[in-house]
Amino acid sequence: SPSDPDLVERARAAKEKLGDKVFVLGHHYQRDEVIQFADVTGDSFKLARDAAARPEAEYIVFCGVHFMAESADILTSDDQKVVLPDLAAGCSMADMATAEQVAECWDVLTEAGIAEQVVPVSYMNSSADIKAFTGKHGGTICTSSNAKRALDWAFEQGEKVLFLPDQHLGRNTAVRDMGMSLDDCVVYNPHKPNGGLTAEELRAAKMILWRGHCSVHGRFSLDSVNDVRARIPGVNVLVHPECRHEVVAAADYVGSTEYIIKALEAAPAGSKWAIGTELNLVRRLANRFAPEGKEIVFLDRTVCFCSTMNRIDLPHLVWALESLAEGNLVNRIEVDKETEAFAKLALERMLALP
């Protein structure tokens, strides 16, 4: 959708007034009207590192969701202030694992006599509290690009992995990349007593998957894949590993947002692609590569935007930038010191992965 010219001008003017004091990060799933003001674009991990590499920027305006702003706060210096233009921009997946639920799960693992063998591996898409839990219990963070390396490392440290909070990324990595079977995985449901598992089931499992999922990627189905193959002969199906196992198993290629972008850059003219990830990114890529003769469609026309990502729109960005330009620090995301220290430990283990 075309952006309101008055808002575009106001965003431009506020950004110019702030100069090097502000650095605007734009997640790949953000709206075009927001992305046009991003100094860099990327996935959550790349953006957090880009922010840390800009110590002169006093304000980091994070156009993305809450856990990403927390991660940026953890990885940047104390003088840098991270701002989320709309505090209601959360992530339904990250919200599926709370600190209390995860502490309760650890008690269940302890009662089953296996906690000492379990290494937590938490996806980047989790709250700072969950990252801190992970750091405290000897575990690491992973992204969708390095999940296999994180699991390889974790299975050198212990016999079992507790994978949080995305069951699909955990299962897809274990089965597709590590050669495990579906039977090696169990799902821990935080809404059931003992996670809905017996002690025997927990003892037999190699992968204990938290029952979380992405409300966008979780909606692609095997029918989405079959339908697009019938509609577009010769289409290459490329999906994000947050999709369900049957979708990933039926796809031609699987990878993170950065992988998807690189694959499309390298794709030959005339090739056809159906992409299973967030719609803002797919539309942007379709427009970008259409002039090169690459046909790119969204994997399923009934799946829609990530509604919380879309909360960050041009009016919220203008409000945040104008407030900062007037000296009002609004919507700061600040992780407390203790949580930050343990979360950082988990993130540093990821950075040290071979």
- Residues making up the binding site for [4Fe-4S] cluster: 91, 214, 306
Residue 197 binds what, of ligand CIZ, ligand SF4, none (CB under 5 to 8 Å, by partner type)? none
**242 contributes a contact to ligand CIZ by CB under 6 A:** yes
Structure tokens at 283: 């539309």
Residue 257 binds what, of ligand CIZ, ligand SF4, none (CB under 5 to 8 Å, by partner type)? ligand CIZ
Residue 238 binds what, of ligand CIZ, ligand SF4, none (CB under 5 to 8 Å, by partner type)? none
Query: Distance of CA 293 to CAs 239, 264, 265, 272, 290, Å?
Result: 21, 11, 12, 9, 5
**83 contributes a contact to ligand SF4 by CB under 6 A:** no
Nearer to ligand SF4 by Cβ, of 36 and 92: the residue is 92
Q: Identify the residue among 76, 101, 122, 125 touching ligand CIZ (CB under 6 A).
A: 125
Instruction: Look at residue 275 and give its three-state secondary structure.
Output: strand
**146 contributes a contact to ligand CIZ by CB under 6 A:** no
Nearer to ligand CIZ by Cβ, of 65 and 175: the residue is 65
Closest separation in Å from C-beta 155 to ligand SF4: 25
The amino acid at residue 166 is: D
Nearer to ligand SF4 by Cβ, of 215 and 323: the residue is 215
Separation CA 246–CA 278 (nearest Å): 18
Q: Do 84 and 107 touch, CB atoms closer than 8 A?
A: no
Q: What are phi and psi of 42, to 5 degrees?
A: 170, -175
Instruction: Indicate the helix (H) or strand (E) that contains 297.
Output: strand 295-298
**70 contributes a contact to ligand CIZ by CB under 6 A:** no
Closest separation in Å from C-beta 27 to ligand SF4: 8
Separation CA 176–CA 11 (nearest Å): 44
Separation CA 87–CA 82 (nearest Å): 12
Site string for ligand CIZ, 78-107 (x = CB under 6 A): ------------------------------
**333 contributes a contact to ligand SF4 by CB under 6 A:** no
25-54 positions binding ligand CIZ, by CB under 6 A:
27, 43-44
Neighbouring residues of 274: CB distance < 8 A, sequence distance ≥ 6: 225, 228, 232, 235, 236, 237, 238, 296, 297, 298, 299
**167 contributes a contact to ligand SF4 by CB under 6 A:** no
**71 contributes a contact to ligand SF4 by CB under 6 A:** no
213-242 positions binding ligand SF4, by CB under 6 A:
214-216
Alpha helices in the chain (DSSP H): 5-18, 32-35, 44-52, 66-75, 99-111, 128-136, 147-157, 167-172, 199-204, 222-231, 245-250, 257-266, 279-289, 314-325, 337-351
The amino acid at residue 259 is: Y
Residue 44 binds what, of ligand CIZ, ligand SF4, none (CB under 5 to 8 Å, by partner type)? ligand CIZ
Residue 167 binds what, of ligand CIZ, ligand SF4, none (CB under 5 to 8 Å, by partner type)? none
Structure tokens at 200: 């025997």
Q: Taking phi first (over 0 means left), then psi (-120 to 50 degrees means alpha), and beta for anything else, what does residue 58 get? A: alpha
Contact residues toward ligand CIZ (CB under 6 A) are: 27, 43-44, 124-125, 143-144, 214, 242, 257
Contact residues toward ligand SF4 (CB under 6 A) are: 29, 65, 91-93, 125, 214-216, 278, 306, 308-309
